[in-house]
Amino acid sequence: MQESVTIDEVNLMLSHPDELPMKWVGQRELLDQVLAAWLVVSEDDVPLNPRLIGKPGVGKTTLAYAAAKRLRQEVYLFQATMDTRPEDLLITPVISEENKIKYVASAIVTAMIRGGVAILDEGNRMSEKSWASLAPLLDSRRYVESIVAGIKIRAHANFRFCATMNDDASTFELPEYIDSRLQPQIFIDFPEREEEKLILAQNLPFADDMILDYVVDFLQNSHLAQERYTVRDGINIGRYALKLLSSSRKLKWPRRVPASSRQVHRCLAQAVALILGPEAQGYLPPVAESD
């Protein structure tokens, strides 16, 4: 059953909060930075609206979600696209079975009403026109105006907002008046070696240390060369290599024959080539002679 609220005699259907199996590993400082942006120290204080910037796959959405969960508030994710229109961000009119108009609040407006956290994912993909509808929400006014429903909605005191953005060329669509409201910028860089291994271990609990180390070495080499391969690629490489390994391994019931390190390295190299292309193989760590 969808919840609804009435604002200025207009009935609004609300969205559902998101519950996702996301866990933030390591890089505690980044989590603190997001929480610091949202912190208010008095009733007159206004929270900041951080912008999480980083390469695809470094964990921007995971970080935002983890920070929101730390506040023990409902989390609402809104995936922005090139086709997102202002009314999609606020209130969408829908024609019901009785041929009447029903107003549906977006994830962002629902978070505003219920005092949750709104995460605008990949905000840089949206047009300037769509961003303009959020301008009053992102400054001290903290409200939105829906032209479609003809109402003004004020944000709950506990409402928090953040946007995630890739640092590729498509982030350059933000107009200046929005850029100044989406502050501070929190940069998510490639994790350090130990943190990268932790993230891989968290996502590949069934992979042994040899595989994790090999994938981490590959990723660290590519970071040095300023390639854009991320830990997300590493997880995919590890997963695929494990699948290749189990399909090529002879099974002796009830005991499996452990794969040799040479087999493991071959499968990993194959996974790298298939997932990222043959040019990525230049960053594979050397295999010891004994292997």
Partner 1 sequence: MQDKSGIFFENICFVPIMHGRLEFAAAVIRSFCRWQPEAIAVEFPHTLKKPLIRGLERLPLLSVLVFELKDNTHVYLPLEPTDGLVEAARAALEHQLPLHLIDLDMDHFVQVREPLPDSYALSRIGLTAYCQAYAARAKQAVSEDLLREANMAYHLDRLRRQYKRVLFVCGISHYPRILSRLGNRQVQPIGRQQRAGVLLAHMHQQSSREIMTEIPYLAAAYERQRQHLYALWRRDPDAVNPLDRLQLQEKLLQEACARHWRHSRERVRPHQLRVLRQFARNYALLQGFLAPDFYQLTIAARGAVDDNFAYEVWDLGSHYPWQDDNPQLPVIELKGEDLFLNQKKIRFHRSFRVKRRRLVPVGIRNKRLREARPGEWRRKWQGLMICSYPPEDLVVEGWGHYVKKKTAHILAAENTRTQPFTTSLLDGLDLRETIRNWHEGKLYVKEERLLSGKVGSVVLIFDEDRPSPGGRENFPWRVTWLGEHEQESDMAFYATPAGEHLVGPGVSRCRYGGFMLTYPPMRVYDIWRDSFFDVATSKPERLLLAAIDYCEEKQIAYIAAKPPRSWWHSVAARYGKKIVYLPLGMFSPVFLKKIRTFHVLDGHHVRDYAYKYIS
Is residue 29 near partner 1 by the rule CB under 8 A? yes
Residues between 68 and 87 that touch partner 1 (CB under 8 A): 85, 87
Instruction: Considering only the stretches 30-38, 106-114, 238-246, 249-257, report the one whose residues sit in contact with partner 1 under the rule CB under 8 A.
Output: 30-38
Is residue 171 near partner 1 by the rule CB under 8 A? yes
Is residue 41 near partner 1 by the rule CB under 8 A? yes
x/- site string to partner 1, residues 116 to 155, per CB under 8 A? ------------x------------------xx-------
The least distance separating partner 1 from the CB of residue 188, rounded to whole angstroms, comes to 11
Which residues lie below 8 Å from residue 194, measured CB to CB, with a gap of 6+? 26
Dist. CA 52–CA 88, nearest whole Å: 22
- DSSP E strand boundaries for the chain: 4-7, 10-13, 51-54, 75-79, 91-95, 101-105, 117-121, 143-146, 151-154, 160-166, 185-188, 251-252, 255-256
Is residue 39 near partner 1 by the rule CB under 8 A? yes
Kind of pairing between the strands at 143-146 and 255-256 = unpaired
Which residues lie below 8 Å from residue 132, measured CB to CB, with a gap of 6+? 86, 175, 178
Nearer to partner 1, 27 or 244 (CB): 27
Nearer to partner 1, 30 or 112 (CB): 30
Nearest residue to 73 (alpha-carbon basis) of 153, 157, 12, 187: 157
Residue 201 host element (H or E):
helix 193-203
Q: Is there a contact between 183 and 52 (Cβ–Cβ < 8 Å)?
A: no
Instruction: Considering only the stretches 7-15, 71-79, 175-183, 257-265, report the one whose residues sit in contact with partner 1 under the rule CB under 8 A.
Output: 175-183
Dist. CA 51–CA 267, nearest whole Å: 38
Is residue 226 near partner 1 by the rule CB under 8 A? yes
Nearer to partner 1, 233 or 244 (CB): 233
Instruction: Considering only the stretches 11-19, 170-178, 203-211, 261-269, report the one whose residues sit in contact with partner 1 under the rule CB under 8 A.
Output: 170-178
Q: What are phi and psi of 34, to 5 degrees?
A: -65, -45
Nearer to partner 1, 18 or 167 (CB): 167
Instruction: Considering only the stretches 2-10, 16-24, 59-67, 164-172, report the one whose residues sit in contact with partner 1 under the rule CB under 8 A.
Output: 164-172
Place of tokens 């959020």: 134
Q: What end-to-end distance do the CA atoms of the chain give, in Å?
A: 60
Is residue 90 near partner 1 by the rule CB under 8 A? no
Q: List interacting residues with partner 1 (CB under 8 A).
A: 29, 32-33, 35-37, 39, 41, 48, 50, 85, 87, 93, 95, 101, 128, 147-148, 169, 171-177, 179-180, 183-187, 189, 192, 221, 224-228, 279, 282-283
